[in-house]
Structure 1
Amino acid sequence: MLRDRRHEMIVRIVRSEGPATVEALAERLHASPATIRRDLVQLHDEGLLRRVYGGAMPIDERDDPFVDVAAVRGAEKDKIAQRCAEMVKDEETVLLDIGTTAHRVASYLRGRSLTVVTSSLAVLEELHDEEDIQLIMLGGMVRRDYRSLVGFLTEDNLRQIKADRLFLGTSGVRPGGHVMDTTVVEVPVKRAMIAASDQVVLVADMGKFPGTGMARVCGPEDLDVIVTNAPGDQATLTAMREAGVEVITV
Structure 2
Amino acid sequence: MGTYMITGATGGIGASIAESLAARGHELILVGSSADRLAKTVTDLGSGAAAKTQTFDPNDPASAARTSRVRTLVLDLSEPPRIEAALAEAGLPDRLDGVVHSAGVVELGRVADLEADEWIDQLMVNLVAPAELTRLLLPALRAARGQVVFVNSGSGLNANPGWAAYAASKHGLRALADSLRAEEPELRVISVYPGRTATEMQRKVRAQENAGYEAESYIQPGTVARLVLDAMETPRDAVVTDLVIRRQPAP
- Provide TM-score, normalisation by structure 2: 0.41
Kindly indicate which of the two structures has a greater share of residues assigned to strand. 1
Kindly indicate which of the two structures has a greater share of residues assigned to helix. 2
- Provide TM-score, normalisation by structure 1: 0.41
